[in-house]
Amino acid sequence: MKLHLNILGICAAVTAAGTYKPQYRISPIDGSKIALPTKEQLDFQDKEIGVLIHFEIATYLDIDGCNNVPNLVPNVDLFDPTLINTDAWMDTTTALGAKYATLVAKHNCGFTTWPSNVTFQNRDNETVSYNYTIAHSPVHGQNIVRSFVDSAQKYNIGHGFYYSVVVNNFLNVQNSGVRAGSWAPGQVNITNSTYDQVVLDQLGELWKDYGSLTEIWFDGGYSSSQQEKVETLLESTQPQAVIFNGCDTDGNCLSANSSKRNPIPILRVSSQLTITVRWIGTEEGQAPEENWSTGVTNDGGDPTSPYFCPAECDTTLQTEDRWFFGVDQPLRSIEEMIDVYHRTVGRNCLLELDLTPDRSGLIPASYAARYKQLGDFISSCYDNPIAPHAAHSADDKGVYTIKFDYPTAIDRIVLMEDQTNGQVIRSYQVQAKVVDSQDANGTFSVSFSHVSNGTSIGHKKIDIFEKPISVTEVRVKTTYVDTPKWRSVSVHLCDQLSTNSCTSTEAN
């Protein structure tokens, strides 16, 4: 469904001469470059889970949106939610444990869920209004964008907007350009330059009138003819927002420093570059085991890259990659969703999970229950580590140690690196003194055993052991390009929680 591109935006700075340079420092150990994050990027990683809310006229179609059906302009009378409650959306968002929500304000059909006041000229030189909006639907007088923002702020949830630039069926636009030839019923005949202005004007409405945004989605990018003005608008209105998918369909990005030969994706904002995240390359809800906070490719990143650019993993709760509400569409099981959490957040990737109101405007009860089940598992498993008063210590050789007063059962470890000065750990090994059975004298036999290992830690890495073990000490050894600063290391016992969560699902 998504129109992801191969390269996403990054963060860099501008020198006094006006040329763009990535923000990095030099390793005191091997001379390699260590990419430096912005505060906003680290704050965004801290949110860990967000939702992407798909609710507009495509909700009322049997197919999953207007994608790849360029002549489809659903009748505006279809949009008739009778029970819409954006506070209820936030109830579900908080039950999941999500810290931000991004609303699809306009998808590929072209319908806007706010009463856009944009006017433009058609090819007959008539000035017409953008009349494919909520203001022209049966629920005219409402503004879902405003209601969503008010609810998000009420619940202290960061809010953002998704706006599809490259496709607009209402204006007969595909791949950022007006299609040549005939126009289907319901479509408006305009020029490419007029379309560029419509995009800019509607982005202006969204970016100027609804507060400070946490995230801005460019699904599929934008055209080179829109680039400069979009960049200027972004600089003046939302310089703090995290940008997802910041390049156009040709690989051009919001910077004069980009090139076809070496398309370094950069967004300039307020004499520096805006904060961006990259796509992980799949909508299945999993990141590669080795997933770095650096690099700009749609995969596990690159530890040698001078660009700090965290990954975001977007996926659906419904099966078959279904984003808009589908009648009788099955949901993914709680077992699978717990696995999604561990393969995203547990692999240094933000999880952005689709939130899907139905045609009444409410989150279906079975959907809300599944979101809550996932949130309950996460909080039950990870909010309170085992033996919080155990002795923790870290030395200057990258070794972190936890010592327990008595044998303690654990089945996983959570590692968090302090990335304030960059991601510096290159590999790690977890060892534990595992308690064997008592001997004849009643004493325990203990020995160090290897229990897990990996490469990238970054914001968070979760390792689940093959089975629960009883330990008296846990030790994490690392290799690095600078002495690591640990944010936290904790151990947990959640195997039974997983079983209980899965069992409860079968009854629903």
Q: How many residues does the chain have?
A: 508
Query: Is residue 16 assigned to a domain?
Result: no
Residues 327 and 453 in one domain: no
Look at residues 295, 268, 290, 366 and name the one whose alpha carbon lies nearest to residue 325. Answer: 366
Query: Is residue 171 assigned to a domain?
Result: no
CATH of the domain at 211: 3.20.20.80
Q: H/E element holding 410?
A: strand 400-417
Residues 357 and 436 in one domain: no
- pLDDT at res. 253: 41
Query: Is residue 259 assigned to a domain?
Result: no
Query: Is residue 236 assigned to a domain?
Result: yes
Query: Is residue 298 assigned to a domain?
Result: yes
Positive or negative, the CA dihedral 483, 487, 488, 489 is negative
Distance CA 131, CA 489 (A): 55
Longest Cα separation, the chain: 97
In this structure, what token pair is assigned to residue 452?
């897990």
- Compute how many other C-beta atoms are within 10 angstroms of the C-beta atom of residue 80: 14
Q: Quick check: helix, strand or coil at residue 497?
A: helix
Distance CA 313, CA 286 (A): 7
Q: Which amino acid is located at 447 in the chain?
A: S
Q: Which residues contact 251 (CB under 8 A, 6 or more apart)?
A: 5, 6, 7, 258, 260, 263
Residues 184 and 96 in one domain: yes
Q: Which residue is it, tokens 């093959």? A: 466
Give the CA angle between residues 364, 368, 372 to the nearest 5°.
170
Distance CA 32, CA 24 (A): 10
Query: Is residue 258 assigned to a domain?
Result: no
Residues 98 and 59 in one domain: yes
Q: Which amino acid is located at 408 in the chain?
A: T
Query: Is residue 121 assigned to a domain?
Result: yes
Query: Is residue 501 assigned to a domain?
Result: no
CATH of the domain at 409: 2.60.120.260
- Compute how many other C-beta atoms are within 10 angstroms of the C-beta atom of residue 70: 18
Q: Which of 354, 382, 410 is the last residue of a domain?
A: 382
- pLDDT at res. 206: 98
Residues 311 and 434 in one domain: no
Number of domains in the chain: 2
Backbone angles phi, psi at 31, to 5 degrees: 80, 5
Residues 351 and 472 in one domain: no
Backbone angles phi, psi at 155, to 5 degrees: -95, 5
- pLDDT at res. 303: 97
- pLDDT at res. 439: 52
Buried b / exposed e along 213-233 (16+ C-beta atoms within 10 A): bbbbbbbbbbbeebbeebbeb
- pLDDT at res. 441: 55
Block means of pLDDT (10 residues each) for the chain, 508 residues, are 38 35 89 94 96 98 96 98 97 98 98 98 93 98 98 98 96 94 92 97 97 90 85 90 62 31 33 67 96 92 93 97 97 98 98 98 98 98 92 95 96 98 98 76 73 98 96 97 97 76 43
Query: In Å, how far from its chain's centre is CA 197?
Result: 28
Positive or negative, the CA dihedral 85, 89, 91, 92 is positive
In this structure, what token pair is assigned to residue 446?
């203990």
Distance CA 238, CA 235 (A): 6
Distance CA 327, CA 304 (A): 46
Residues 158 and 220 in one domain: yes
- pLDDT at res. 235: 87
CA distances from 189 to 66, 165, 172, 194 (A): 19, 17, 7, 10
Q: Which residue is it, tokens 């302090």? A: 418
Q: H/E element holding 278?
A: strand 275-279
Residues 368 and 406 in one domain: no
CB 463 within 8 A of CB 427: no
- pLDDT at res. 261: 22
CB 131 within 8 A of CB 115: no
Quote the pTM value: 0.90
Residues 86 and 160 in one domain: yes
Residues 355 and 418 in one domain: no
Q: Which domain holds residue 318?
A: 35-66+73-166+179-240+275-382
Residues 395 and 378 in one domain: no
Residues 349 and 449 in one domain: no
- pLDDT at res. 436: 75
